[in-house]
Amino acid sequence: MLRIEMLPAAHGDCLWIEYGSGATVHRILIDGGPAHTYPALRERILHLPANARRFDLLVITHVDADHIEGVIRLLMDAQALHCQFDRIWFNGRDQLNAVPDPAGQPLGALQGEILGMLIADYEARTGTKVWNLGFEHALAGIDRTQGTLPMVDLPGDCRLTLLSPDHEGLLYLKDRWKTELDRAHVKSGDVTALRQKLAASRSLRPLGDVLGAADDDAFAAAGEHRFELPADDDSDLDAGLEDALGRGSGEAGADAPFGGDASAANGSSIAVLLEYPAAAPKVRLLLVGDAWPGVLETSITTLLGDPGKRLAVDAFKLPHHGSVANLSASLLEHLRCSHYLVSTSGALFRHPHKRALDLILEHHAGPGRPTLHFNYLTRCTAPWSEQADQKSRSYRALHPKGTSLTF
């Protein structure tokens, strides 16, 4: 059995994966969504018995707020929730500094440094080593000069193959990340200053272990306003919006070129091919955060050893919530897939882009007709709920909030 759930994370990602046989259940959590959706993740955890709140792996794909903030809150709550993590994958300051860099410049970014501090706190409290466990030099990255991809086997016969990031993407992130701490007036490694920043944040506070506890009314109201669905026109999509590192070219609009994402944060995304069981896979999931399509193509070719082959997967979690900037025809021509997962409410950036999903339907290579899975039914995802369109273009679309898919 393997089940993947897209928990409600507004415009972000929060993927809950369970696998195993009989009474033994293994769990993987990938990303935690933005801060204001953390209560949904927390409630999901609290419905487990206290002695079952163990995760074989926690992955933070990259530093964008809609992926990292919920994990920051979770780690602050981990002891109260009786959560245990056997492995935590995240490329922070120390990992980026470990990438061979001709410039030799150290760096740090505020949220990344806070998360790194909390992972170190977790290791110190539990007496365990979990950070990027399974990777050489504790770096979740691909050295293209080696001609191979890192593979990690998890308990329960599950294998993960790293498809992103490569060293080039990590160095690009490092180069763009240097000014973040200066803007926050924090020095890299200054734990005292980081704890002060964290304590002063209303959005990143822990909630403890009381089922039903929620954020205070003022923060909740502010979140509802900040993350409501976008306007019908483009008036709310500021062309000057920056990525999480403060240096981006802005969020790609629906008319942007395919595959043109230039966000340093997105280019550093941890992306994996999950295979279960490892020895003779019956299920393959492509879980890619907000990764760049060109990096994924290169890794898939390396994995298969032939640029003309297609990688057969059962489900593909679309990069960057179905943005045109993170999909390309050439990437889709490297895949054979039945299920496409779209994690977004459409808030902030009106993902998914229609052109992106049209491209998927156009290049779908089976088996069977494509099925689109959405974890929200909103104005931004409703167009694919129309039965007439599904029939005319031979696809299915499922829209339950917090959708799950079992194999």
DSSP reduced 3-state for 239: coil
pLDDT at 250 exceeding the cut of 60: no
Q: What pTM value is reported for the model?
A: 0.92
Residue 242 in this model has a pLDDT that exceeds 50: no
Closest CA to 321 of 6, 2, 3: 6
Q: How confident is the model at residue 237 (pLDDT cuts 50, 70, 90)?
A: very low
Which amino acid makes up residue 335?
A: L
Q: Phi and psi of 374, rounded to 5°?
A: -115, 145
If we measure between CA atoms, which residue out of 64, 4, 72, 63 comes closest to residue 38?
A: 72
* pLDDT band of 234, cuts 50, 70, 90: very low
Tell me the average pLDDT across 177-187: 76
Q: What is the pLDDT of residue 108?
A: 54
Max CA separation in the chain (angstroms): 60
Domains and CATH numbers, the chain: 2-201+239-406 (3.60.15.10)
Q: Is the pLDDT of residue 217 over 70?
A: no
Mean pLDDT on 357-367: 94
Instruction: Give percent above pLDDT 90 in the chain.
Output: 70
Q: How far apart are CA 135 and CA 178, in angstroms?
A: 25
pLDDT for 103 equals: 60
- Averaged pLDDT for residues 346-350: 88
pLDDT of 205: 83
Q: What's 373's DSSP letter?
A: E
pLDDT of 134 over the 60 cut: yes
Residue 292 clears pLDDT 80, i.e. is over it: yes
55-101 pLDDT tens trace: 999 999 999 999 999 999 999 999 999 999 999 999 998 898 888 87
Q: How confident is the model at residue 107 (pLDDT cuts 50, 70, 90)?
A: low
Question: 377 pLDDT band (50/70/90 cuts)?
Answer: very high
Three-class DSSP category at 214 = coil
Q: Which two tokens stand for residue 27?
A: 């769990």
Contact 122, 55 (CB under 8 A): no
Greater confidence (188 vs 191) lies with 191
In angstroms, the CA 259 to CA 100 distance is 27
Report the mean per-residue pLDDT for the chain: 88
Q: Which of 22-36, 222-236, 392-406 has the lowest mean pLDDT?
A: 222-236
> Residue 357 pLDDT > 80, yes or no?
yes
Examine the pLDDT at 221 and tell me if it is beyond 80. no
Q: Are 6 and 321 in contact (CB under 8 A)?
A: no
Decide if pLDDT at 264 tops 60: yes
Quote the pLDDT of residue 208.
Answer: 76
User: What pLDDT score was predicted for residue 318?
Assistant: 98
Q: What would the mean pLDDT of 234-240 be, rounded to a whole number? A: 37
